[in-house]
C-alpha cells in the first residue's frame, strides 16, 4: 500500500515537472469574479496581454460574476490545478469568510498564491444631478430622504458593499442597497440616474470624475490622491478614520505545480513592470506592491492578516448571509 502511494507521489511530481516544461501549450483563463467593464475587470484586461506575452499563450479574461465575488472564487477552487485557470480577486477574499455563513471555498486552504497585484483607493460618488455639492450636503440629502436614496454595490463580499456599510454606519442612516454583478453595471445605472450613490475603485472612477459624468464626495484614503488632488478625503471632512484601500491578489487552484506557479509569477511581474501599465496605474493613483509582496508568501501572509482584521469587525457589525 505504502509503495503504491510512494509511486503515485513520485509520478505526480515527475508528471508535474513534465507538464511544467511544456506549460503553457494553450490559452489560460484569468477568472475575474465580477462583471465586465468594472474596476477588477479593467485591471485584469490591462495585465492579461503582457502576461500572455510573457507566457507565450493568450491569457483570456473570464468574468464569473455574482454573490460579491464568491461564485468566481468557488469555480477557481474547484478547477483543475494545471495552470490553465488563474484568478484575480481583491480583498473580498479576506472578508467573505466572516460575511458568509456557508462559503464553498476556504481562502486559506483551497488556493495556491501567486502574489499581490495592486492597491487601489475608492471614491464616494453620486449621480450627476443629485442636489448636493459637498459631503455635508449629501449627508443632509440622505437624511431628508431616508429610505428613498439608493446605493448600488456588487453584493455582500464586494468592496463597494463594504464601503457602503462603513459609510452608512459613519453617518448613522440607512440607505437601501441595490446589488449588481459588479460595479461596471452599477456605474452604468449611476450614469443613467437609476441609482443615487456608489462607492468604487479609482480604476473605474477617475475618468468618470474627470469628465464630470458623476459627482464625487470624497476619497477613502487618509491622504488625498495625486490623480484627484482637489477631492478631499472622507476623513478630513469629518468621517474620522474612514479608510479603505483595496488590495488585489492572484491565485491558482490548490495543487497547481510549483514550476507552473513560478512561470505565472514571472508573467505577473513582467506585466506590472510594463511602463505603459505603470503609467496607467499611477494615473489612477493605484500602487504596485513591492517585489517581496508580489510573492506567494507575500500574498498568503497578507490574506491571513486581513482575515483576522476583518472577521471581528464584520461579526461586530452583525452583517452576514447564507
Ligand atoms: N468594485 C467591485 C466591488 O465592489 C467589483 C468590480 O466590479 O470590480 O468589489
Strand, coil or helix: what is 209?
helix
Domain boundaries, the chain: 2-119+247-317, 121-219
Cβ of 242 below 6 Å from ligand 1: no
Residues 185-212 have a mean pLDDT of 97
Residues 142-156 have a mean pLDDT of 94
Query: Residues of 276-311 as b/e, b for ≥16 C-beta within 10 angstroms?
Result: ebeeebeebbbebbeeebbbbebbbebbeebbeebe
Nearest CA to ligand 1 atom 4: 160
Q: How confident is the model at residue 317 (pLDDT cuts 50, 70, 90)?
A: confident
**Three-point CA angle 104, 122, 67, nearest 5°:** 20
Cβ of 123 below 6 Å from ligand 1: no
Residues 137-143 have a mean pLDDT of 97
Q: Note whether 153 and 66 are within 8 A (CB).
A: no
Closest alpha carbon to 125 in 93, 87, 151: 151
Q: How confident is the model at residue 4 (pLDDT cuts 50, 70, 90)?
A: low
Query: pLDDT tens, 26-53?
Result: 999 999 999 999 999 999 999 999 999 9
Mean pLDDT of the chain: 93
- pLDDT above 90 covers a percentage of the chain that reads 88
Select from 30, 33, 34 the residue to mutate for testing ligand 1; criterion: most ligand atoms less than 8 Å from CB.
Answer: 34
> Could you tell me which CATH number the domain at 121-219 has?
3.40.190.10
Rounded distance from Cα 139 to ligand 1 centre (Å): 23
Cβ of 33 below 6 Å from ligand 1: no
- Ligand 1 atom nearest to 68, measured from its CA: 9
pLDDT at 316: 80
- Ligand 1 atom nearest to 32, measured from its CA: 8
Query: pLDDT tens, 242-272?
Result: 999 999 999 999 999 999 999 999 999 999 9
Residues 170-175 have a mean pLDDT of 92
Q: Regarding predicted confidence, which is higher, 281 or 318?
A: 281
- Whether 2-119+247-317 and 121-219 share one fold: the answer is yes
Cβ of 159 below 6 Å from ligand 1: yes
Q: Is the sign of the CA dihedral 292, 289, 221, 204 positive or negative?
A: negative
Select from 118, 201, 249 the residue to mutate for testing ligand 1; criterion: most ligand atoms less than 8 Å from CB.
Answer: 201
Indicate the fold that domain 2-119+247-317 takes in CATH: D-Maltodextrin-Binding Protein; domain 2 (3.40.190)
Query: pLDDT tens, 56-101?
Result: 999 999 999 989 999 999 999 999 999 999 999 999 999 999 999 8
Q: How confident is the model at residue 8 (pLDDT cuts 50, 70, 90)?
A: very low
Rounded distance from Cα 73 to ligand 1 centre (Å): 14
* Helix spans in the chain (H): 2-22, 39-55, 70-78, 92-99, 135-144, 159-171, 183-191, 202-210, 258-272, 275-283, 296-317
Q: How confident is the model at residue 1 (pLDDT cuts 50, 70, 90)?
A: very low
- Ligand 1 atom nearest to 184, measured from its CA: 7
pLDDT at 16: 56
Nearest CA to ligand 1 atom 5: 182
Rounded distance from Cα 90 to ligand 1 centre (Å): 8
Rounded distance from Cα 317 to ligand 1 centre (Å): 21
Nearest CA to ligand 1 atom 8: 40
Question: Given a cut of 50, is residue 147 above it in pLDDT?
Answer: yes
pLDDT at 7: 53
pLDDT at 241: 94
pLDDT at 321: 67
Cβ of 72 below 6 Å from ligand 1: no
Q: How confident is the model at residue 315 (pLDDT cuts 50, 70, 90)?
A: confident
Residues 114-134 have a mean pLDDT of 97
Question: Given a cut of 80, is residue 152 above it in pLDDT?
Answer: yes
Q: What angle do helix axes 2-22 and 258-272 make, rounded to 10 degrees?
A: 30
Residues 228-252 have a mean pLDDT of 96
Q: Note whether 175 and 151 are within 8 A (CB).
A: yes
Amino acid at each position: 500500500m505504502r509503495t503504491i502511494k510512494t509511486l503515485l507521489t513520485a509520478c505526480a511530481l515527475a508528471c508535474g515537472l513534465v507538464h511544467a516544461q511544456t506549460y503553457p501549450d494553450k490559452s489560460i483563463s484569468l477568472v475575474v469574479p465580477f462583471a465586465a467593464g468594472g474596476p477588477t475587470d479593467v485591471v485584469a484586461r490591462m495585465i492579461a496581454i503582457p502576461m500572455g506575452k510573457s507566457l507565450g499563450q493568450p491569457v483570456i479574461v473570464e468574468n464569473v460574476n455574482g454573490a460579491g465575488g464568491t461564485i468566481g472564487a468557488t469555480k477557481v477552487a474547484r478547477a483543475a490545478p494545471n495552470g490553465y485557470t488563474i484568478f484575480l480577486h481583491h480583498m473580498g477574499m479576506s472578508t467573505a469568510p466572516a460575511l458568509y455563513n456557508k462559503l464553498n471555498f476556504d481562502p486559506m486552504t483551497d488556493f495556491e498564491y501567486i502574489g499581490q497585484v495592486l492597491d487601489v483607493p475608492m471614491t464616494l460618488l453620486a449621480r450627476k444631478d443629485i442636489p448636493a455639492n459637498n459631503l455635508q450636503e449629501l449627508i443632509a440629502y440622505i437624511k431628508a430622504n431616508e429610505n428613498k436614496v439608493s446605493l448600488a454595490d456588487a453584493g455582500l463580499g464586494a468592496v463597494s458593499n463594504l464601503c457602503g456599510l462603513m459609510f452608512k454606519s459613519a453617518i448613522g442612516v440607512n440607505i437601501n442597497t441595490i446589488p449588481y454583478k459588479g460595479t461596471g453595471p452599477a456605474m452604468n445605472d449611476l450614469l443613467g440616474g437609476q441609482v443615487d450613490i456608489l462607492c468604487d475603485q479609482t480604476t473605474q472612477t477617475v475618468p468618470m470624475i474627470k469628465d464630470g459624468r458623476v459627482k464625487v464626495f470624497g476619497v477613502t484614503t487618509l491622504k488625498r490622491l495625486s490623480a484627484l488632488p482637489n477631492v478631499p478625503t472622507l476623513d478630513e471632512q469629518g468621517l474620522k478614520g474612514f479608510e479603505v484601500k483595496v488590495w488585489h491578489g492572484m491565485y491558482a487552484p490548490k495543487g497547481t505545480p510549483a514550476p507552473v506557479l513560478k512561470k505565472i509569477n514571472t508573467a505577473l511581474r513582467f506585466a506590472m513592470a510594463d511602463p505603459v501599465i505603470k503609467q496607467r496605474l499611477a494615473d489612477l493613483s493605484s500602487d504596485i506592491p513591492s517585489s517581496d509582496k508580489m510573492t506567494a508568501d507575500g500574498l498568503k501572509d497578507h490574506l491571513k492578516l486581513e482575515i483576522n482584521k476583518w472577521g471581528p469587525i464584520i461579526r461586530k457589525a452583525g452583517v452576514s448571509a447564507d
